[in-house]
C-alpha cells in the first residue's frame, strides 16, 4: 500500500466551484506539505504544516486554504476555483529528527482541471 | 531566498554519462536534494548532500560545493528508463525545500 495517498487522482470542475483535495499518510510523519506543479514553473509550495496545530503559508497561498484534521490527514481547498488553478497538485510529508530531516515523500498527485 | 537554476532540457545517448548542473543561493542553506520525476508521476528521492564532495550511489552520483553554491547530478551508463525530469531542491530554514524548475533529460538510442 502507498504511504502517501491523494484523492481524487483526477478532477474536472467548473469556475466558481468549491473543491477539496485530500491527502493521507501512513508514514507517521509530523510534517505535511501541498505543492502545485505547472509546466515550466516547477514545484511551488502552497501551504505546509508541522503538526496538527501549525499551519503556514507557502509561496503561493492566495486562493487556497488548508485543514490539518489529524497528524495523518491534510486537506487543500479551493474556495472558488478559477482556470489558472488548473495544475498537478502534490502532497508531501517529512519527519522531524531523522538524518534526512528535509527529505520529502510525495503522494501520486491530483490532476485538477478548472473549466 | 533560495533561487535555484538548472538547465531546462538535456539530451544524451544510451550508455553515455550526463552531468546536470544546479546553482543556488547560499544564504540559510541546509542541504541540497535531487529528485527524479517521470512524466505525470510523483518526484522520488535520489540524493542528499549537506557537506562538500561527491556522494556515489550506484549509477548516480551527486556533488556539492557550498562555497560556490553549486551542485551536479552525474548519471552513468544511461538507460532509456532514465528519461525523466531531474529536480534540484535546496533546503533552508523551517525544513522547507525550494525546488528548481527541473531538467528534462531525454535518453536516445
pLDDT digits (tens, 9 = 90+) for A23-63: 999 999 999 999 999 988 889 999 999 989 899 999 899 99
Of B30, B40, B101, the CB nearest to A42: B101
pLDDT digits (tens, 9 = 90+) for B6-42: 999 999 999 999 999 999 987 777 789 999 999 989 9
pLDDT digits (tens, 9 = 90+) for A70-105: 999 999 999 999 999 999 999 999 887 655 556 889
Partners of B55 on chain A (C-beta within 8 Å) are none
pLDDT score at B1: 45
**Residue B33, burial from CB neighbour count under 10 angstroms (0-12, 13-18, 19+):** buried
Which element (helix H / strand E) includes A16?
none
Contact B41 A101 (CB under 8 A): no
**Band of the pLDDT at B94, cuts 50, 70, 90?**
low
B109 vs A: CB within 8 A: no
Give the Cα separation of A5 and A72 in Å (integer): 10
Q: Of the candidates B88, B17, B106, which has an alpha carbon nearest to the alpha carbon of residue A43?
A: B88
Q: List CB contacts of A98: < 8 A, sequence separation 6 or more.
A: none
Interface of B with A in 43-82 (CB under 8 A): 43-45, 48
A55 vs B: CB within 8 A: no
pLDDT score at B27: 74
Interface of A with B in 67-86 (CB under 8 A): none
User: Average pLDDT of B64-89?
Assistant: 96
pLDDT score at B109: 95
The distance of B54 to chain A (nearest Cα, Å) reads: 17
Amino acid at each position: 500500500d502507498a504511504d502517501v495517498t491523494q484523492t481524487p487522482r483526477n478532477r474536472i470542475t467548473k469556475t466558481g466551484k468549491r473543491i477539496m483535495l485530500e491527502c493521507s499518510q501512513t508514514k507517521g510523519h509530523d510534517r505535511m506539505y501541498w505543492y502545485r506543479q505547472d509546466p515550466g514553473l516547477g514545484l511551488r509550495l502552497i501551504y505546509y504544516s508541522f503538526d496538527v496545530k501549525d499551519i503556514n503559508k507557502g509561496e503561493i497561498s492566495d486562493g487556497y486554504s488548508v485543514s490539518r484534521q489529524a497528524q495523518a490527514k491534510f486537506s487543500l481547498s479551493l474556495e472558488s476555483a478559477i482556470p489558472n488553478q488548473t495544475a498537478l497538485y502534490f502532497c508531501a510529508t517529512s519527519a522531524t529528527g531523522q538524518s534526512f530531516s528535509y527529505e520529502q515523500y510525495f503522494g501520486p498527485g491530483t490532476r485538477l482541471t478548472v473549466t | 531566498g533560495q533561487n535555484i537554476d538548472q538547465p531546462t532540457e538535456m539530451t544524451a545517448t544510451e550508455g553515455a554519462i550526463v552531468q546536470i548542473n544546479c546553482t543556488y543561493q547560499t544564504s540559510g542553506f541546509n542541504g541540497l536534494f535531487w529528485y527524479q520525476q517521470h512524466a505525470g508521476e510523483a518526484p522520488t528521492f535520489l540524493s542528499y548532500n549537506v557537506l562538500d564532495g561527491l556522494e556515489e550511489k550506484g549509477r548516480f552520483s551527486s556533488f556539492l560545493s557550498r562555497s560556490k553554491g553549486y551542485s551536479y547530478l552525474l548519471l552513468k551508463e544511461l538507460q532509456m528508463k532514465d528519461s525523466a525530469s531531474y529536480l534540484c531542491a535546496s533546503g533552508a530554514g523551517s525544513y522547507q525545500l525550494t525546488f528548481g524548475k527541473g531538467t528534462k533529460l531525454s535518453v536516445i538510442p
